[in-house]
Amino acid sequence: MMSFTSKSIEFFGKNLVSCGCSSNASFDRNKVRNYGKVNSKGCGNGARKLICCKKKNTTQYRVSSMETAEPTLNGGAQAIKDLAKGLNLKSYSETPISPNRLFEVVSDDLQTLNKNLQSIVGAENPVLISAAEQIFSAGGKRMRPALVFLVSRATAELLGLEDITVKHRRLAEIIEMIHTASLIHDDVLDESDLRRGKETVHQMFGTRVAVLAGDFMFAQSSWYLANLENIEVIKLISQVIKDFASGEIKQASSLFDCDVQLDEYLIKSYYKTASLIAASTKGAAVFSGSDSNITEKMYEYGKNLGLSFQVVDDILDFTQSAEQLGKPAGTDLAKGNLTAPVIFALEKEPKLRDIIESEFSEIGSLDEAIALVKSCGGIERAQELAKEKADLAIQSIQCLPQSVYRLALEDMVTYNLQRIA
Ligand code: IPE
Ligand code: IPE
Ligand code: MG
Ligand code: MG
């Protein structure tokens, strides 16, 4: 059995830009087969091949490298482990990836989604409409619906579908609605006053309205979900809504707890973040009619990307400003939410425990704790953890055909890591 581990070494969008062609209009997203013959050239290290795809009748190329190690019965597991170890941060593209370019191949889908989101929130109550508008119009990266579209198109292609379906589109809308509801509630719990660069819903309309608006959006998304009439997807996504609550409860009940272990942190992160992303990518594959092998791989991709994403978010809370993030910075530790950088730092620096357990009662002790987390390698070890999960995500999508969609899914993983590079 051949195992592929392909790493993009050049971002396709770069070719679009360098050819002076900034729109994706010239690329028929349903006809990725149009890419000409795949030429392989050995690049001297034995197992890695450069793959160069030329688009028919154009001068545009996409270059990627493909691992062609063939695990044997005896050496297979070891080969996969070596492969995973070998994927260090440097092996990810160093060309900065912007979110706009990243989602270029599904930009039309995202535009339609934005229009539809406004109409499906459609609450009867004017206060709820204003609350929903406040957060939807504030923007957001639309990463989850973009993932739905990318997996939908990649798996549709795999199964020979002409186009994605109305159900794929509705799934993307439901997912963004659920994500937005979770942000409204999360901001109430975190007492955050800024989200997507704007005032939070509870800050603007009060906690009662924020709780109700979040509930309303969860309920509304459940209604749309039920109308998709797919029991597998209904079970998958209703579990996610339950997971959010479990994640928030877990977090709230372990504040300032210096005995919290890395695996507990990862479980909480799965509940709060990875569960929804995994359901997005798996649900998309289900609606293409994929077999369980593919749907599970898509689930693994979403789960590991989600974990990597949360670890990166937790690092950024230490390293970036509120202006850069569009939400408050440096508040996780202040509020006692001990994330990956702190958990790693606690292993090295016993003094940190005393400061955290005192709940920063002494003036200057929070700054001291932040400095300790940074000086004893907490950030670097968290970076390694984010990369470990990223590598697993990349491995899971090697079952997809080489296409602009798979490349964008790989670039999504790289983009996330680049945020902390
Ligand atoms: C924020 O998610 C919550 C986390 C999982 C860290 P995003 O960073 O995707 O938020 P928006 O949608 O772009 O605002
Ligand atoms: C992210 O948790 C998951 C959610 C359910 C919102 P965070 O608490 O880290 O999210 P931010 O940092 O507030 O966006
Ligand atoms: Mg939060
Ligand atoms: Mg956060």
DSSP 10: S
Q: Could you say which ligand is closest to the alpha carbon of residue 241?
A: 2
Among 42-51, 252-261, 389-398, whose mean pLDDT is lowest?
42-51
Measured in angstroms, how far is the CA atom of residue 195 from the centroid of ligand 3?
A: 9
Give residue 238's pLDDT band: very low, low, confident or very high (50, 70, 90): very high
Sign of torsion, CA 345 277 268 361?
Answer: positive
| Whether the CB of 313 sits within 6 Å of ligand 1 | yes
Atom of ligand 1 nearest to the CA of 142: 12
Among 133-147, 169-183, 264-278, whose mean pLDDT is lowest?
133-147
What percent of the chain is modeled with pLDDT above 70? 78
Give the residue among 377, 265, 312 at the shortest CA–CA distance from 92.
312
Across 161-221, the runs of DSSP E, i.e. the strands, are 194-195, 198-199
Residue of the CA atom closest to atom 8 of ligand 2 = 186
Q: 97-419: which CATH architecture?
A: Orthogonal Bundle (1.10)
Beginning with the edge strand found earlier in the chain, give each strand of the sheet holding 35-42 in spatial order.
Answer: 5-8, 61-67, 48-55, 35-42
Residue-level pLDDT at 97: 87
Per DSSP, the three-state class of 198 is strand
Measured in angstroms, how far is the CA atom of residue 84 from the centroid of ligand 1?
A: 27
> At 198, phi and psi to the nearest 5?
-125, 170
| Whether the CB of 196 sits within 6 Å of ligand 1 | yes
Q: 81-85: long-range contacts (C-beta < 8 A, 24 or more apart)?
A: 83/3, 83/5, 83/395, 84/388, 84/391, 84/392, 84/395
What is this structure's pTM?
A: 0.80
Give residue 194's pLDDT band: very low, low, confident or very high (50, 70, 90): very high
DSSP 403: S
Among 54-58, 229-233, 238-242, whose mean pLDDT is lowest?
54-58
Give residue 147's pLDDT band: very low, low, confident or very high (50, 70, 90): very high
| Whether the CB of 276 sits within 6 Å of ligand 1 | no
The pLDDT mean for the chain works out to 81
Give residue 10's pLDDT band: very low, low, confident or very high (50, 70, 90): very low
Residue-level pLDDT at 30: 29
* Residue of higher predicted confidence among 96 and 418: 418
* Residue of higher predicted confidence among 202 and 137: 202
Position 144 pLDDT exceeds 80? yes
Q: Nearest 10 degrees: CA dihedral of 98, 103, 108, 110?
A: -100
Position 331 pLDDT exceeds 70? yes
Across 56-180, the runs of DSSP E, i.e. the strands, are 61-67
Residue-level pLDDT at 98: 83
Using CB distances shorter than 6 Å, the residues near ligand 2 are 182-183, 186, 190, 244, 272-273, 313, 327
Position 20 pLDDT exceeds 70? no
Q: 185-194: long-range contacts (C-beta < 8 A, 24 or more apart)?
A: 185/210, 185/211, 185/214, 185/244, 185/248, 186/248, 186/272, 188/214, 189/248, 189/251, 189/252, 190/331, 190/335, 191/335, 192/327, 192/328, 192/331, 193/328, 194/322, 194/326, 194/327, 194/328
- Mean per-residue pLDDT for 41-67? 33
- Mean per-residue pLDDT for 150-162? 96
Q: Which two tokens stand for residue 198?
A: 């704007």
pLDDT digits (tens, 9 = 90+) for 339-397: 999 999 999 999 999 999 999 999 999 999 999 999 999 999 999 999 999 999 999 99
* Residue of higher predicted confidence among 162 and 59: 162
The answer for 398, left when phi > 0, alpha when psi is -120 to 50, beta otherwise, is alpha
pLDDT digits (tens, 9 = 90+) for 353-367: 999 999 999 999 999
Per DSSP, the three-state class of 45 is coil
* Residue of higher predicted confidence among 232 and 96: 232
Task: Give me the residue spans of the domains in the chain.
Answer: 97-419
Residue-level pLDDT at 91: 67
Cα separation, 389 vs 400, whole angstroms:
19
